[in-house]
Structure 1
Amino acid sequence: MAIKIRQLAQAVTLTGIISALPVFSFAEPAHGIAMYGEPALPADFTHLPYANPDAPTGGVVAMGEVGSFDSLNPHQAKGNVPWQLRFLAYESLMERNWDEPFGLYGLLAESIDVGPNREWVEFTLRQEAKFSDGSPVTVEDVMWSYETLATEGHPRYAGIWSKIASMEKTGERSLKFTFNVDDPELALLVGMRPVLKKAQFDGISFAEAGLSVIPISTAPYMIDSYEAGRYVRLKRNPDYWGANVPVRKGTNNIDEIRMEFYGDASVMFEAFKAGELNGYRESNAEKWDTQFNFPAVQEGRVMKSEIPHQRPSGITGFAMNTRKAPFDDIRVRDAMMHAFNFEFINQTMTGGKQERITSFFSNSVLGMDNGPAEGRVLEYLTPYADALPAGAIDGYALPVSDGTERNRGNLRKANDLLEEAGWTIQDGKRVNAAGEPLTFEIVLSQGSSEVQSMMDIFASSLERLGITPTITVIDQAQYTERMNAFDYGMTYYRRGVSLSPGNEQYLYWGSEAADKEGSYNIIGIDSPAVDDMIGNILTAQSNEDFVAATRALDRILTAGRYIIPIYQWNVSWIAHDARLKYPQHLPIYGDWIGFMPDVWWYEEK
């Protein structure tokens, strides 16, 4: 029987969490910092509100992942890395509290101080902070890490580096960053970079260090063993330096974390049923209701937990590469939106049980309103009225089919849009004026039979329009290489967003990242209006402006018809060994980074 966790009744709304006006200065170095107003937790807090400071230690968490890996360095652009390593095996100066939109508290740093307008930020390191080899964390390690990550690491680290005018050592354990732009979020973002040991990389190319180098870090977990493409095992460091730091109390309670890799999702599920894994996240409502009734569940050895959240839906669906034809034409993208028969697919795949994502920030206060833009949102959009996609100002909603497989009405609309774009039917094929057929490649990664089934249904609809796409399924390494090179027509895409959107939005949708190989903007969005809305988010002087700017951005992205959205998950479904427990107080982000296995524990009884 499912254990339904109480809704987050005690959690205040986002509007209540963020104060009306920003407060950007401290009278003296502080224990934490928030994007707006004061940090939610006081200086004398003892643990995060969703952690159990009395949790026992011990046990194992074994989770599965579909795919493979050929690197253990999550900070480089090259290779495929188990995604959890970035968060489990490394630490930063500050740590997030996932029970507030954007609040940071000291981890490697014991204090933070900022200028009157956050034009600079200064951190003081904890004297007790140490790497797993016992050596102290120094200012030189931090400065080397920041520069190396920005110049040799993954592109996600480069953006902030260009906004730092200077980085200087100001004391034995302190360093200061001064910024060259007016961007209050930077004071928080620089506190979230991983810190690595400088000496370990003497004579070693950071950009090439894959499986050959396991970076020494300060984190509670160390990589104990691995087999390329098969598994990674992490063990809790018994000499971990930060066990008594408030943001660490009650976290990292599990002795061993195993990440097992499988070539197919169905094989991974069978491994969980057989007891090879003791934790499993499900994403299909129908499967959750009908296929989690195997003996271990019936006997109470495996529990079903449902974890709600208040974060935005983000976007999950099928992205179109706007850098090249045919998807450089919004009319073609709009035709794809109409041809994609979500209602029929949803009924086929989940019994119609899952709601659809309606916008990039849906399911939250940051999501766009229905109908025409009004008030502050309209003020933000008006200067770009002539360049915005249809519906951004007047209102846009996704096409809705009649639920039948034929989807006649929407296919008629798709046909009209294609003809308007110059693609007509000749001899049963959709061609342009030169007689060239309309075709494109759908590139998918191996392992997700559900995604492939959706594409098969979609391809059948496209055939009725005279379009025959090529569906290519490749292994994870090839897939990553092609995504980095933007070598695709359409692909499955998922991007989570938070209650505190900021500079990372430039990485996802910004013009500067549109043609930067390996960037997160795989869609190729190149829009001055998008760039300006992100800038408005970053420079908002009130909660009203912040929410309005995000809603304006949401309108432009959604009306741009860049991604065909599918399901949203307003609750996480986790099946797990009954001996694995978690606190009753849930963060507003729910099952997000920093929840499982961070605050879970193991009870033998």
Structure 2
Amino acid sequence: MIRRTHHRAVRLLLPGLLAAAVTAAPELASASAEPQPSHGIAMHGDVKEPPDFTHFGYANPDAPKGGWIGISVVGSFDTLNPFTVTGQEARNLSGYVFQPLLARSLGEPFALYPLIAESVTMPEDRSWIEFTIDARARFSDGEPVTVDDVIASWRLLRDRGRPNHRSYYALVDSARATGERSVRFSFSPEAEREMPLIMGLMPVLPSHVYNVETFDKLGLSPPVGTGPYVVSNVARGRSITLTRQKDWWGNDLPATSGQYNFDTIRYEYFRDQETALEAFRKGIIDFREEEDPSRWALSYDFPAARRGEIVKEALPNGAPRGMSAFVFNTRRAPFGDIRVREGLSLLFPGAWVNRAYYRDLYERTDSFFDGSELSAEGRPATDHERELLAPWIDEVPQRVLEGDLGGQRRGADDRRALREALRLLKAGGFELRDGRLVNAETGERMSFEILVATREHERLALAFSRALDRAGIEARVRSVDSAQYQRRKQSYDFDVTHHFWFSSLSPGNEQRFYWGSAAADQPGTRNYMGVTSPGIDATIDALLAAHDRDDFVTAVRALDRLLVSGHYVVPLFHRPSHWVAYQERFAHPETPPLYGYALETWWDRTAEEDTKP
């Protein structure tokens, strides 16, 4: 169960955040006592698309079907079940093989449209939601999707799913059939306003295939889902091939029109990015997203590229950049002391790394919602936001309240950063003795391990380690395989590690999973740093309770300031846009999604030739 801390404080401080408002599609905004079925629901405001829309604006309904694409993945996998914490799942099974009741639009902050459910009904108070299943919906084995499947999926994920599934779906008080093809979920009083949308994103699993006894033990058994693809070939840890069902039941839906165009999608797994790049250069891989600026600048001048067979393109991204960072595990000493965390953060040689490794093409990340309206960077706290932060205002430095989230880190050269870091570390109980930073009471040297799984992160960790060594700190870099890396992260068995938190324009309940106190000691969450902050809990409550976009943005910015002020991570870098390289035979729509490119909207111009490698 998700705990709602400081709810009363938020209610008193932000009455505007809790005012009544309707945020579903226009059909639900009527004054009728009985809610009417709708073609879509949104978190804030109305859905963008009209009831008679035929396709999303970022998809080309005339895109040809067919052809193939090979994509590289760095890492490994040992399971085809993406819904448990047991093992490392293969790439992109969710969305391609398994699908939810409603489809998320990539052109809006948070809006859902019919997929497995052909319509949705929801009252103004969002106390329940009812889905009517499309009579055409089928699993890949040909069996129809039934109300029983939907209810069984909810129970299975609630009892045996990932921790976030268990927390969300436990907020459903009851699930019952209201017709031959309709099912209603009623929510507990603790459920937030986002719960109807969370239920809309619930994957539907076949009850005749998956059961409670075996669900979290599934390995490489071929999965059965409702999506457009089936798994046709698997080499454990090395490759997985998805094949499109040409008679897929959802081909003609507005939310899927112009999407899922490739007949074959092959994911090849590599240990590191250099090997993956070499596979692309040799034509083994057809598409590649580049993350390293040095490789982007220098490594794409090869014969096929010079012949014009490779397209190199920077694609826009309107979403928050997310947070890539080294994470301090505050469950372990000495990282429970904010002064120690801040001091260690100042020692990361960010300017040098960007210049030496990335040719200054990266940007240093300052905000957990960098690059979007949700970021507090450069935006002084408003009166409304200060009211929300009032009980914890002493935890937020003045410069952060004024919108300067990374100024101290950016403004210091190596010498001044070292002096300030040593001052903070001394305040945290450590001092220099004979060139070694030791605990002032015990004389024990500060020593910890940085856990990584890729060569890129190992390179960053080694740069950090060298900088720490100059301050008398011993930081050992430990590189492990991806499966061990995931296991250790999921059980919080690390001192410092790397993680990337994806961020959207409509953050919601997953924020509890990322930063909520209740998630701090629950294995398998993404609260890797172990945050237990009443202020962070309250701002998450506020953003979940917001009824309009302005109040929502205010709450997210307050959360951003508290996260930055806690120095839980050492922020790294982000790309100013998506860098992609691909075979010239591929094409994509002219209008990109708000969240950046989506491969499901791309196509193979040679598809009509119906050839494969």
Q: TM-score range by the shorter chain?
A: over 0.9
Superposition deviation, residue 387 in structure 1: 5.0
User: Whole-Å Cα distance in 1 between the matches of residues 167 and 387 of structure 2?
Assistant: 28
After TM superposition, list the pairs within 5 Å mapping 1:185-584 onto structure 2: 185-201=194-210, 205-211=214-220, 213-370=221-378, 373-387=381-395, 393=401, 396-398=404-406, 399-400=408-409, 407-432=414-439, 433-445=441-453, 448-584=454-590
Contact preservation (8 Å) 1:113, 1:122: yes
User: Whole-Å Cα distance in 2 between the matches of residues 371 and 541 of structure 1?
Assistant: 22
Inter-CA distance 526–391: structure 2 relative to 1 (3 Å threshold):
farther
Deviations 1:450-493 (A, max 9, x none): 22222222111111111011111000111111001101111111
Contact preservation (8 Å) 2:376, 2:405: no
SS of structure 1 residue aligned to 2:489 = helix
SS of structure 2 residue aligned to 1:435 = coil
SS of structure 1 residue aligned to 2:360 = coil
Contact preservation (8 Å) 2:23, 2:547: no
User: Whole-Å Cα distance in 1 between the matches of residues 56 and 97 of structure 2?
Assistant: 20
Contact preservation (8 Å) 2:331, 2:530: yes
Equivalent position of 1:7 in the other structure? none
Equivalent position of 1:49 in the other structure? 57
Residue identity in the other structure for 1:599: T
Deviations 1:101-128 (A, max 9, x none): 0110000001000012111110000001
Superposition deviation, residue 256 in structure 1: 0.2
Number of equivalenced pairs: 577
SS of structure 2 residue aligned to 1:172 = coil
Superposition deviation, residue 182 in structure 1: 5.1
Deviations 1:142-187 (A, max 9, x none): 1111110121111120121221111111111000011113522111
Deviations 1:278-329 (A, max 9, x none): 0001012232122111111111111112111111121012111111111111
Equivalent position of 2:42 in the other structure? 34
User: Whole-Å Cα distance in 1 between the matches of residues 291 and 560 of structure 2?
Assistant: 24
Superposition deviation, residue 371 in structure 1: 6.8
Inter-CA distance 402–509: structure 2 relative to 1 (3 Å threshold):
closer
Equivalent position of 2:603 in the other structure? 601
Superposition deviation, residue 532 in structure 1: 0.7
Q: Which runs of 5+ in 2 are unaligned?
A: 1-19, 30-34
Residue identity in the other structure for 2:605: E
User: Whole-Å Cα distance in 2 between the matches of residues 371 and 87 of structure 1?
Assistant: 36
Residue identity in the other structure for 2:343: A
Is residue 135 of structure 2 the alignment partner of residue 135 of structure 1? no
Contact preservation (8 Å) 1:22, 1:542: no
**What fraction of aligned residue pairs are identical, expressed as a percent?**
38
CA-based RMSD = 1.7
Residue identity in the other structure for 2:288: Y
User: Whole-Å Cα distance in 2 between the matches of residues 60 and 23 of structure 1?
Assistant: 40
Give me the TM-score of the superposition, normalised by structure 2: 0.91
Is residue 591 of structure 2 the alignment partner of residue 589 of structure 1? no
SS of structure 2 residue aligned to 1:260 = strand
Equivalent position of 1:164 in the other structure? 172
User: Whole-Å Cα distance in 1 between the matches of residues 470 and 123 of structure 2?
Assistant: 61
Superposition deviation, residue 423 in structure 1: 0.3
Equivalent position of 1:6 in the other structure? none
Superposition deviation, residue 239 in structure 1: 2.1
Deviations 1:328-348 (A, max 9, x none): 111111011110110011001
Residue identity in the other structure for 1:121: I
User: Whole-Å Cα distance in 1 between the matches of residues 378 and 437 of structure 2?
Assistant: 34
User: Whole-Å Cα distance in 1 between the matches of residues 396 and 411 of structure 2?
Assistant: 29
Structure 1: 4+ residue segments shifted above 6 A: none
Residue identity in the other structure for 1:61: I
Contact preservation (8 Å) 1:96, 1:105: yes
